[in-house]
Amino acid sequence: MTPENFLYLAVVLFAIGLVGIMLRRNLFVVYLSIELMLSSVNLILATFARVQGDMGGGIIALLMIAVIAAEAAIFLSLIIYIYRTTKTVDSKRITKLANQEEK
């Protein structure tokens, strides 16, 4: 249980989250992958707090959790909104930002 192990783990989790964002089109999965990445960062913060013996990292991680909560609220509201208007959670079909003439 060395600090490096925690860090390696966090990096791998982060990578998995990254893969999830790029790969999946289902908005829920995208959201959960984002959460995964955030959590991995939290882990790194906590690890360094323990390494340094300084509570600062832990505090930040705590505040991060608050942010996560806020973000959950917004993201999920957005999903509801999108579902209501476009009846889908497939990110490929949500193309309002695209150049309309092309397609």
Min dist. Cβ of residue 70 to another protein (A): 3
Min dist. Cβ of residue 99 to another protein (A): 6
Q: What angle do CA 33, 42, 36 make, to 5 degrees?
A: 10
Min dist. Cβ of residue 35 to another protein (A): 7
User: Dihedral of CA 48/54/60/66: which sign?
Assistant: positive
Distance, CA of 90 to CA of 3 (rounded, Å): 39
Provide the 8-state DSSP code for 90.
B
